[in-house]
Structure 1
Amino acid sequence: MATSEPQALVTLDQETRLHEDDHHSIKLWLRLLTCSSLIESRLRTSLRETFDTTLPRFDFLAQLERTPNGLTMGELSRRMMVSGGNISGIATQLVNEGLVERSPLPDNRRTVLVKLTPKGARTFAQMAEEHEHWIIGMLGHLEVAEVDQLMVLLSRVKEGL
């Protein structure tokens, strides 16, 4: 009986699509996409394993943490660039867990304002602290001068868009 040797795991990412003669802009796009996807994937895993939560829920809480007076569901939807239905589902889950509260605006009862509860603020603070450690763990090997250079170059990319 033949035994098979363990095969090396091959990481498939967006850059595997590259061809040597691809335009440099395509190569850059796929490198940016790969890096972003790898970071996001690790964050999703860490949030799930450490806090039993998702990246959209973390982002939802982060938006509210930045605006202590709360946000309307429409504002949350615009800031997170997702549909109102997605926001509504996340809000319901977080209300049920006691992390956020919803209340109608006094001057417009059809518009709902969402705010962090004290429990939500404490929970998010713990998540944000870990999130910061994870990001530093992934990008902290870069020297300050390298980060500065990347920031300048990415600003040029952003301006071109």
Structure 2
Amino acid sequence: MSDAAKDRLRLWLRLLKVVRGIEQDLRDELRRAHNTTLPRFDVMSALSRHPEGLKMSQLSGVLRVSNGNVTGIADRLSEEGLVERIPVPGDRRAMMLRLTSEGATEFARQAEAHQDWINEKLRDVSPEDARAMAARLQAFAAKSEQKEQVNAQ
């Protein structure tokens, strides 16, 4: 293996370790502070970006998980009054999910705490470095998505 390949592998492993560590800390904080889970937070986050609501299939696509994964979470959030199910006109089988006003308020509270946790976790990264790293990762992600689209054709 070339030195460049070893360096890239090392980078990947370090990225993975950091992301998994932060993700576990977030899971713990969400459970402790809000009695919720990261998947529930992710569903509410996606719905907060689509105030008109999303079909279950769209939500699964946004989250990149199966419909089955979303259904159970949606059921519990609906039972708690945080999301509402809305029939899709012309499609008896399809349902839209939308945050209720209570759900939007609760998500705003969780999102603020989430931002504070991330800010604290990454406090040693300057804003300039954060922007540069984010731009670099976004460019990498866009390039990877283009390859996926070409391969899917």
TM-score computed with the length of structure 2 as normaliser: 0.85
Q: Does 1:37 align with 2:16?
A: no
How far apart in 2 are the matches of 1:79 and 1:155? 17
Q: State the partner residue of 2:131.
A: 148
Give 2:75's aligned residue.
92
TM-score (norm: length of structure 1): 0.81
1:27 partner letter: R
Q: CA deviation at 1:108?
A: 1.2
Cα distance in structure 1, aligned partners of 2:79 and 2:92: 21
Q: Distance in 2 between matches of 1:69 and 1:105?
A: 12
Distance 1:60 1:156 in 2: 25
What does 1:43-122 align with in structure 2 at a 5 Å threshold? 43-122=26-105
CA radius of gyration, larger in: 1
Point out where structure 1 has 5 or more consecutive residues left out of the alignment.
1-19
**In 2: Cα distance, 1:101 partner to 1:152 partner:** 36
Q: What count of residue pairs does the alignment treat as equivalent?
A: 142
Deviation at 1:153, TM superposition (A): 3.5
Q: 1:138 aligns with which of 114, 121, 127?
A: 121
Q: Distance in 2 between matches of 1:159 and 1:120?
A: 32
Gaps of 5+ in 2: 145-153
RMSD: 1.8
Give secondary structure in 2 for the equivalent of 1:145: helix
**Same amino acid, percent of matched pairs:** 41
